[in-house]
Amino acid sequence: MQRLGYLGIFCLMATFQTHALSLSPLFSDHMVLQRDKPVRVWGEGPENHSITVTLLNQSYATQTDENGHWQVMLPAHAKAGPFSLTISANKIITINDVYYGEVWIAGGQSNMEWKLKGDVIGNEQAIASAQQPLIRFFDVPDTLSPVLQSQLPASKWQVATPNTVGRFSAVAWFFALQLQKTEDVAVGIIESNWGGTPAEAWTDIDIVAATPGYEKEAAEVKAKTDWPELLAANKKQQELKWQRINSPHKTMISHAAAVNYDDEHWQDIDLPNTGPLHHFVWLRKTFTLESVPPASITINLGTIRHNALIFINGHLIAKTYNDNAAPSTDSIYKIATQLLKAGKNVIAIRAANGTSNQVFIGEKQQMWVDIGGHKQPIEENWRFSNSVEMPMPKVVNYSYTPSFLYNAMIYPLLPYTAQGVVWYQGESNINKHAYYHTLFANLISNWRARAESPNMPFLFVQLAAYLPHKPLQPESKWAYLRDAQRQTLALPNTGMAVAIDVGDAEDLHPKNKRDVGERLWRIAANKIYGIPTVPTGPDFTHFEIKQSEIKIYFDNAEGLKTNGNQAVEGFIIAGQDKVFRVAQAFIHGQTVVVSHPDISEPLAVRYAWADNPLANVINNVRLPAMPFRTDAWSASEVRKK
């Protein structure tokens, strides 16, 4: 996906002098200020000049320093609005439609970034009913920097309407909707998220350097002094890449879409492809018509990730663009009869993936040609080449670089007073799961320190199920990452929404965002707003070994049962040999008793421990039990049988 990712490249000074009054873009029309907490207002102006901030008939004075910086700390105020906020110096700035209410930061990677207008269950109704003037979103544009920035890139607050809400984070929207309805208050969500990004990119470089497992990466970042040159050169490569991806005229020069193009030297391939294809991928498929049909025909090419030009007999019929924030669906096209002919016809696809250079095309049983109501499958016998064009220009994804997103999207944001953070991230740290707990805990502490709020609530989503179901997978990287997230609950004022039951074996981005957002809200309601509600599903507390059985105890276990009242699934058990087996388990009151006939002296139990586990324990409000383990064995120590 082409990003607005280099806005901060040449603004490499953390401070700068200014001669005109200016503010962070956060201070703009429709903003929400955090109620019941002191609120910081800051900006730049003439050096050593008086600044006056006025709101609700009260004025607060300060003076800029020798660099032109100033800030005012407004006293705590109950919910209020709408009103105007005025800042006066050598000019006057007036901000309208301001409220005191609840402010939350929505951070993370693509599952938090995922827009409501994307492939989200129930989004049409949600968008149509989104006339919510007291809910406002501020989206921090994707940007990065090798050094700390003092200013966010330009953006503005958006009031929730059916015309705007589709561009909001779906998870954050469902969270905000419950918050506004329950607390009857204005809600401001500040989105600062970026798909595919790891936690270390959102953490200060000195903190990353002190985190086990990341010392080398941080040292490499610190050692480079030519970042402006590197980023500028990379930007040129990125522009060239997208120019080539989006230019159908140049690809037509190859004539690879023409009916009589010689593809004998190409490879045979069936679709959908099981492994990724790379660079500029060309595919051709021949189908035969006895005669030109009297009406148009329809073709379905399934999911294409992500960018494609689609041709019929050399004619460009479609240009698709799909990215992580707006997933592709079936590529269904009607083909006019004038583009067809009796005999040989050729479908040609030119595809590329500007995000990861990994191209996937098609879905099983979703690739066909429909002629007069008769569907013919077209999954087999395609021809493939990725040497028709020069390879994809090499571009470094610096959004993965330690501290680069913290510098540009968090450091200049966190002076803004917020109630807390909702966070959905971790997929990009799967391969370093052993280090994630410390890294994530350090990120939370880092953000709290920058916000000067040591107990700022930080609520996060545990990773959803993904990849094929496996009943026995004690070495699962996904399970270890989820456990690292669970360990982070040891930090005060944290909470974890479980999403293990809303995952998708074939999609990293589950479509059920409502349950995720509303589960985050349940935790906030209980922990922050003092509302008596069950915050989570059953949460493992301790266990007892009684002869050949292990009894598991939980919090939030009232009405403990299984989904659909089926037999208990999801528990595995091991003895001293650390060999796990699928366990027998039954519910006894608010506990679960676990055993296996071949293990006479059990030592450890794990629950929902797989990439995509079969697990079904819930409580009386139908919230899923948290995945857990009773042992501390590493992935390299355990085996299965």
Q: What DSSP letter does each residue of 30-81 carry, written as one string?
A: T-EEETTS-EEEEEE-STT-EEEEEETTEEEEEE--TTSEEEEEEPP--SEE
Q: What is the pLDDT of residue 12?
A: 36
pLDDT band, residue 329 (cuts 50/70/90): low
In the structure, what pLDDT confidence band is assigned to residue 20 with cuts at 50, 70 and 90?
confident
User: Whole-angstrom Cα distance, residue 523 to residue 499?
Assistant: 13
The b-or-e profile of 542-572 (16+ CB within 10 A means b, else e) is ebeeeeebbbbbbbbbeebbbeeeeebbbbb
- Domains identified in the chain, total number: 3
Asked whether residue 338 is domain-assigned, the answer is: yes
Helix (H) or strand (E) segment spanning residue 172: helix 170-183
Q: Which two tokens stand for residue 114?
A: 């995922």
Per the domain annotation, does 150 fall within a domain? yes
Angstrom distance (rounded) from CA 207 to CA 209: 5
The DSSP 8-state label assigned to residue 280 in this structure reads: S
Q: Are 268 and 380 in the same domain?
A: yes
Judgement on whether residues 412 and 311 belong to the same structural domain of the protein: no
202 and 279 share a domain?
no
Q: Which helix (H) or strand (E) holds 449?
A: helix 433-450
Structure tokens at 423: 């966070």
Domain C-terminal end among 463, 497, 527: 527
For the stretch 554-610, pLDDT in tens is 999 999 999 999 999 999 999 999 999 999 999 999 999 999 999 999 999 999 999
CB of 31 within 8 A of CB of 95? yes
The DSSP output letter for 323 is B
| 373, 407: one domain | no
| pLDDT single digits (tens) 231-279 | 999 999 999 998 888 877 776 777 899 999 999 999 999 999 888 999 9
> Is 239 inside a domain boundary?
no
Average pLDDT, the chain: 92
* Model confidence at 324: pLDDT above 70: no
pLDDT tens-digit readout, 93-126: 999 999 999 999 999 999 999 999 998 999 999 9
* CA 568 – CA 615 distance, rounded (Å): 8
CATH assignment at residue 316:
2.60.120.260
Torsion angle of alpha carbons 398, 402, 406, 407, nearest 10°? -70
Residues 404 and 522 in one domain: yes
| Domain boundaries, position 340 | 255-385
- C-alpha distances in Å from residue 562, one per residue of 392, 486, 543, 568: 50, 22, 20, 6
Task: Give the domain CATH number at 414.
Answer: 3.40.50.1110
**pLDDT tens per residue across span 133-192:** 999 999 999 999 999 999 999 999 999 999 999 999 999 999 999 999 999 999 999 999
d(CA 362, CA 364): 7
Which residue type sits at 463?
A: L
C-alpha to C-alpha distance for 368 and 374, rounded to whole angstroms: 10
In a domain, 22, yes or no: no
pTM of the model: 0.89
What's the rounded Cα separation, in Å, for the pair 61 and 570?
A: 61
Q: Residue 417's closest CA among 45, 80, 100, 107?
A: 100
